[in-house]
């Protein structure tokens, strides 16, 4: 099984490089660095340098080499919209939709939660429970998320970096959102929301935590691999989509359709002749019935 983490906190080149190196050593196969929309353009400029540095890691030189798969992680960059109202979220999404394979929006406010769930151009509603005493989800939002294919993100970082009552509230929110997921089938992804190398945990440790609070093996697989991969693959092909559900297919060959046009028309002519004969016979029957009625 491969593990995707779609929410690492992007900051600057040095911190980002340390973050992706450490995450790769702990067994993550795909890493997505999230930035605010104001910092995204700057981060894109050093993306290739990060990829080159990541590919130079020699896992045989590290003390964790026996716990990793010796493969270098794939890397992407996304946008996480913070502290915006509905109009700002819509404008930012429209501006950057074609520039990135991942757009998420921090939740917490119910108006924001609903606005994001109703916007099919946004990939993820991140942490709808943020700074709340409840999960930030209900039946209406769950239906909208499923209808518009908006994923809901649960972050392990909210467990790691909080204590006492707030941690308890977060775990309760996870369980409630999982219940909605099982009923309404909206995408549900799991992330670490790591800000520094000290937040990184192994894939096995994080999987064990989610299993301990009631997630099944299939739900953990979907949350760390299946749904994240679908989001990335879908957005790679988004530029070819005319409208939702319809896309351009490069290199499609329709010559067979035109080559068989003449034979198709001949078959239609034969069918047409038979149909004319059927009509003539039907008219003859009607004439006979009219004569019988006159005689009576």
Tens-digit pLDDT profile for residues 260-269: 555 554 554 5
Indicate the pLDDT class of residue 125, thresholds 50, 70 and 90.
very high
Residue pLDDT, tens place only, 61-103 = 554 445 545 578 899 999 999 988 999 999 999 999 999 999 9
**Which helix (H) or strand (E) is 155 found in, with range?**
strand 151-155
Which top CATH class is 4-247?
alpha beta
Q: Give the chain's length.
A: 296
Per residue in 129-172, pLDDT tens? 999 999 999 999 999 999 999 999 999 999 999 999 999 999 99
**Bridge partners (DSSP) listed for residue 4:** 30
User: Cα angle vertex 56, ends 53, 60, to 5°?
Assistant: 135
For the chain, the structural domain boundaries read 4-247
CA angle 2, 7, 13 (to 5 degrees): 105
The encoded tokens of residue 271 equal 């069918």
The residue with greater pLDDT, 282 or 288, is: 288
Describe the chain by its helix, strand, coil percentages, rounded to 5.
55, 15, 30
């Amino acid at each position: 099984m491969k593990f995707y983490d779609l929410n690492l906190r992007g900051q600057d080149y040095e911190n980002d490089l340390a973050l992706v190196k450490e995450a790769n050593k702990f067994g993550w196969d795909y890493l997505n660095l999230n930035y605010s929309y104001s910092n995204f353009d700057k981060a894109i400029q050093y993306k290739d340098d990060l990829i080159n540095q990541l590919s130079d890691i020699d896992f045989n030189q590290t003390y964790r080499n026996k716990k990793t798969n010796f493969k270098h992680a794939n890397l992407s960059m996304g946008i996480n919209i913070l502290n915006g109202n509905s109009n700002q979220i819509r404008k930012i999404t429209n501006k950057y939709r074609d520039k990135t394979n991942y757009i998420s929006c921090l939740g917490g406010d119910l108006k924001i939660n609903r606005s994001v769930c109703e916007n099919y151009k946004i990939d993820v509603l991140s942490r709808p429970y943020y700074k709340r005493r409840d999960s930030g989800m209900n039946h209406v939002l769950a239906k909208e998320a499923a209808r518009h294919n908006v994923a809901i993100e649960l972050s392990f970082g909210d467990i790691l970096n909080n204590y006492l009552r707030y941690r308890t509230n977060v775990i309760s929110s996870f369980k409630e959102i999982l219940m909605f997921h099982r009923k309404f089938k909206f995408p549900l992804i799991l992330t670490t929301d790591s800000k520094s190398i000290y937040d990184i945990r192994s894939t096995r440790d994080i999987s064990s935590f989610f299993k301990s609070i009631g997630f099944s093996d299939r739900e953990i697989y979907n949350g760390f691999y299946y749904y994240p991969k679908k989001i990335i693959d879908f957005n790679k092909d988004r530029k070819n989509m005319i409208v939702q559900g319809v896309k351009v297919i490069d290199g499609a060959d329709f010559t067979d359709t035109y080559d068989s046009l003449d034979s198709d028309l001949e078959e239609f002519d034969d069918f047409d002749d038979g149909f004319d004969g059927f009509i003539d016979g039907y008219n003859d029957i009607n004439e006979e019935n009219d004569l019988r009625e006159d005689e009576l």
